[in-house]
């Protein structure tokens, strides 16, 4: 594919989505355990949470595969099957505090290690089995 004009700059990721089954358990994890602010919820379909300058979207996948009703917003159907992944930016010192908090909340730690470039990552699972990572931005050279 050949471009005839310059590609406009993308300024960042505005939203990330994971797919879940139980919105009550999802809200208890993202708002209760992680402390993210819930900004919207539609029972049986989704719950959205503020995270810094972005938004974490949690969808019941089967509900997002249904075409919008007549007169509704024309959001295309979507959805995924299986476990997804989301990574939150967090300093190594805050990861240490988060690890203690997660353990106190009964959340199992999947992994906690330093990458070859020295960045630290902490991994857990949300109630739907999605892989949730907390990593230093230097993992991707963003510091």
Q: How does pLDDT run across 86-106, given as a tens digit for each residue?
A: 999 999 999 999 999 999 999
Q: Shortest CA distance to 33 belongs to which of 109, 126, 110?
A: 126
**pLDDT reported for residue 69:** 87
Are 87 and 139 within one domain? yes
Please report whether residue 128 resides in a domain: yes
Examine the domain organization and report whether 95 and 59 are in the same domain.
no
Task: Provide φ and ψ at 43, rounded to 5°.
Answer: -55, 135
79 within 8 A of 64, measured Cβ to Cβ: yes
Are residue 98 and residue 57 in the same domain, yes or no?
no
- Give the pLDDT of residue 45: 94
> 125 is in which domain, residue-wise?
83-143
Statement to judge: residues 54 and 98 lie in one domain: no
105 shares a domain with 134: yes
Residue 112 pLDDT greater than 80, yes or no: yes
Which pLDDT score is estimated for 12? 85
Q: Report yes or no on 50 lying in a domain.
A: yes
| Claim to verify: residue 88 and residue 60 sit in the same structural domain | no
3 pLDDT higher than 80: no
Indicate whether 18 and 50 sit together in one domain: yes
Q: Are residue 92 and residue 52 in the same domain, yes or no?
A: no
Is residue 6 domain-resident?
A: no
Per-residue pLDDT tens for 9-67? Answer: 888 899 999 999 999 999 999 999 999 999 999 999 999 999 999 999 999 999 988 88
Q: Which residue has the higher pLDDT, 2 or 46?
A: 46
| Cβ neighbours for 77, distance < 8 A, ≥ 6 positions apart | 64, 65, 66, 67
Run of H or E including 64: helix 61-64
| Residue 80: strand, helix, or coil | coil
Return d(Cα 133, Cα 123) in angstroms, integer. Answer: 4
Position 38 in a domain:
yes
* Number of separate domains in the chain: 2
Q: What is the pTM of this model?
A: 0.91
Confidence band (pLDDT; 50, 70, 90) for 75?
Answer: confident
From residue 132, alpha-carbon distances to 47, 71, 75 in Å are: 17, 36, 26
Region 122-139: mean pLDDT is 97
The alpha carbon dihedral of 49, 107, 63, 78 has a sign of positive
| pLDDT score of 1 more than 70 | no
């Amino acid at each position: 594919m050949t471009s005839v004009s310059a590609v406009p700059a993308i300024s960042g990721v505005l939203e990330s989505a994971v797919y879940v089954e139980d919105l009550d358990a999802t809200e208890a994890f993202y708002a209760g355990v992680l402390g993210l602010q819930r900004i919207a919820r539609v029972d049986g379909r989704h719950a959205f949470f503020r995270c810094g300058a972005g938004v974490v979207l949690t969808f019941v996948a089967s509900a997002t595969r249904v075409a919008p009703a007549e007169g509704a917003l024309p959001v295309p159907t979507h959805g995924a099957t299986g476990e997804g992944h989301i990574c939150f930016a967090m300093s190594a010192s805050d990861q240490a505090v988060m690890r203690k908090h997660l353990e106190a909340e009964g959340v199992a730690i999947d992994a906690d290690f330093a990458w070859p470039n020295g960045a630290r990552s902490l991994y857990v699972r949300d109630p739907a089995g999605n892989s949730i990572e907390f990593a230093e931005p230097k993992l991707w050279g963003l510091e």
